[in-house]
C-alpha cells in the first residue's frame, strides 16, 4: 500500500527531540531521585563554592539557606539535614570543612552530599536564624565563604 500523506515528517522534529534530550540530561545532572529512606544524594564540585548555609542543632546539620548563583542554589532546600559528604557522616561544620578539604584538588571527581529531606514539618518550622541583629555583611560574607570553601 502507498504511504499515507499524513505520515510526513517535520524537519523540526529532530531539533525538538535534541532539545528535549539536552533538557532531560540537564535535569538529571541537577536532581537525584529521593530514596525510600527520605534522603537525596546530590553531586557537587568540591573545587568551587557550593553555597550552603548550615546550622548545627542537636547534633544535626540543618540547611538555613543557599547562596544565589552557587552550586546549591535551586537544588538544596531550607530545613534539609546534611547527613554525609563523600560517604563520611558529618554532624558539625568542622567535620564538613575537614571532608571538603580532602576533596578539594584540581580534576577531583564530584563529591556526593546526602541530605535527609523528610524532617517533620514541626522541626522545619523551628529552624530559624539566631535572634538579634544580623552580623555586619562583610563578616557574614567571610563566614559564608569560609563555610562554602570547606
CB-based contact 150:96 (threshold 8 Å): yes
Q: Which residues pair with 89 in a beta bridge?
A: 84
d(C-alpha 99, C-alpha 146), whole Å: 14
Q: Tell me the three cell numbers of residue 17.
A: 527531540
pLDDT of residue 17: 63
Residue 148: pLDDT band with limits 50, 70, 90: low
> Which grid coordinates are listed for 5?
500523506
Interior/surface letters 116-135, b for 16+ CB within 10 angstroms, e for the rest: bbebeeeeeeebeeeeeeee
Please check the confidence at residue 58 and state whether its pLDDT lies above 70: yes
**pLDDT value of position 1:** 53
31/58: higher pLDDT: 58
133 has pLDDT over 70: no
pLDDT band at residue 37 using 50, 70 and 90 as cut-offs: confident
Spatial separation of the C-alpha atoms in residues 99 and 89, rounded to whole Å: 9
Q: What is the pLDDT of residue 106?
A: 72
Mean pLDDT over each residue of the chain, to the nearest integer: 74
Give the residue among 56, 76, 73, 50 at the shortest CA–CA distance from 127. Answer: 56
Residues 6 or more apart from 48 whose CB is under 8 A from it? Answer: 71
* C-alpha separations of 135 from 20, 124, 130, 150 in Å: 45, 23, 10, 20
Each residue of 75-129: pLDDT tens digit?
999 999 999 999 999 999 999 999 999 888 877 899 999 999 874 544 444 444 5
Amino acid at each position: 500500500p502507498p504511504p499515507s500523506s499524513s505520515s510526513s515528517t517535520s524537519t523540526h522534529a529532530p531539533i525538538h527531540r535534541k532539545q528535549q534530550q539536552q533538557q532531560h540530561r540537564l535535569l538529571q545532572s541537577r536532581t537525584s531521585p529521593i530514596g525510600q529512606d527520605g534522603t537525596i544524594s546530590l553531586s557537587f564540585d568540591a573545587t568551587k563554592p557550593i553555597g550552603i548555609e548550615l546550622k548545627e542543632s542537636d547534633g544535626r546539620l540543618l540547611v538555613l539557606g543557599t547562596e544565589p548563583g552557587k552550586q546549591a542554589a535551586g537544588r538544596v532546600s531550607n530545613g534539609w539535614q546534611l547527613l554525609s559528604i563523600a560517604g563520611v557522616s558529618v554532624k558539625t561544620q568542622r567535620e564538613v570543612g575537614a571532608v571538603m578539604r580532602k576533596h578539594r584538588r584540581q580534576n577531583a571527581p564530584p563529591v556526593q552530599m546526602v541530605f535527609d529531606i523528610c524532617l517533620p514539618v514541626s522541626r522545619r518550622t523551628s529552624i530559624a536564624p539566631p535572634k538579634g541583629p544580623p552580623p555586619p555583611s562583610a563578616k557574614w560574607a567571610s563566614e559564608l565563604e569560609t563555610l562554602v570553601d570547606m
